[in-house]
Amino acid sequence: MGSATSPKSLPNADAAQWNKQLMLEFQAALENDPAADLISMFPDFYVHEHRNAQYGQLSNAAKINFRLIEDLQDTLRHEPEVNLLSVLPKNYSRRIEMAAGPRINREQKCLEDSPPEFRTRLDQAENATVIYPLSKEVTTVLAQFSGPEDKPTSIEGSLILSLKRLLWASKKLWESPVRGVVVKCDENIIAKVITRNNDYTEYMSM
């Protein structure tokens, strides 16, 4: 058996008396049958109080979901062949949306407060120029992002299309919304894109 978790107290003044009575019933059942299913002996009211004790630290949306699942379990126990869709609350979607509203708003605010993605600035680029000859590995990677549907007006136009696709498809390693971005194109190739730079040495560009 797994390690036991710390027990919670039942939110009912009669809980202590219930536990004493249950212990006596468990003891009698085990004397009669050591393999008795003790969980099946819990009365419905005790299960109800147990569920309420679990809800204390949950959000409103989580409480709605837990109660729904438990209600469905109760229904299945009494009607194993029931159509579950027919017993789902008609207002479930509205209730869960209202309960989760503040959290969704916080997530939306976080997105609004986040700095813009630097790679969106690639849309402003119309062409690209090769300063130093590209290695075979880089050429191969770029070729994977060119398609037959592309109809650029120049070699530079073809290159910029492939570059944009490659940079968007690559994993981002570092970013400054103003300065630039570094992405991992594959296991051997890292690309750095920065603005306002005329130094094309290895230190400044990869």
Residue 204, token pair as written in the block: 């400044």
Contact, 181 vs 130, CB < 8 A? no
Q: Kindly write down the DSSP assignment for every residue of 145-195, as one continuous string.
A: T--TT---SSHHHHHHHHHHHHHHHSEEEEEETTTEEEEE-SSS-EEEEES
Place 206 in a pLDDT band, splitting at 50, 70 and 90.
Answer: very low
Residue 13, token pair as written in the block: 């003044």
Mean pLDDT of 115-144: 82
Which residues is 176 bridged to in the sheet? Answer: 180
DSSP class of residue 198? -
Q: 160 vs 104, which has greater pLDDT?
A: 160
pTM over 0.75: no
- The C-alpha R_g of the chain, in whole angstroms, comes to 31
Could you give the C-alpha distances from 59 to 56, 101, 107, 110, 179, in angstroms and in order? 9, 11, 16, 20, 40
Backbone φ, ψ for residue 42 (5° rounding): -70, 125
pLDDT in tens, 172-192: 888 887 788 888 988 889 988
pLDDT in tens, 42-67: 887 787 777 777 777 778 888 888 88
